[in-house]
Amino acid sequence: QGFSFVSNMSKDEAGPADLWQITWQNVGQLRVLHKHVFPVSYQDPFYSDVVEKHKEHCRLAYYADILVGAICCRVEIEDGRPRLYVMTLGVLEPYRRMGIASQLIRDIVAKVEQEKEKSKISEIVLHMQTSNTPGLQFYERHGFENAKLVPNYYQKN
């Protein structure tokens, strides 16, 4: 089961990492990061789309010149309104609890707020496994609200 979360988008201060936009030159690093952070594999079309279609809403987080985290989002239309969907947000285990994931969220929120008039994006949404208690607490601390329970969103193979 998964929860669907929604944020009211408020921004905060900077963080410890250097944030970079995704490019064809660094997308391979994102692929490696994802293999170490997530229990699922993302296929080539995901990475092509991130670079070609969604790079404005994706960030790589470098700490001491090492890629340690990333956020990948896309704009989608729901009920005729644009919203930002968080596809992935992850930080390598040794770098968690340093504020890097928070920094990534804040950066994306600030970008959306900066472009709000043009993009008309009014919310940021994501899905989260109900068993991921630390993740649920993280998003709640950042102003996300549990919008609904989505049965069978995460199917076990």
Of 47, 57, 95, 127, catalytic: 127
Q: Any catalytic annotation for residue 36?
A: no
Q: Any catalytic annotation for residue 57?
A: no
Of 54, 57, 62, 85, catalytic: 85
Task: Give the strand order in the sheet containing 144-150.
Answer: 18-21, 58-63, 66-78, 81-91, 124-129, 2-7, 144-150
Q: How far is CA 127 from CA 55, 63, 98, 115, 147, in A?
A: 20, 27, 23, 23, 10
Distance CA 98, CA 103 (A): 9
Beta-strand ranges (E) seen in the chain are 2-7, 18-21, 58-63, 66-78, 81-91, 124-129, 144-150
Question: Quick check: 122 and 138 in contact, CB under 8 A?
Answer: no
Catalytic residues: 85, 127
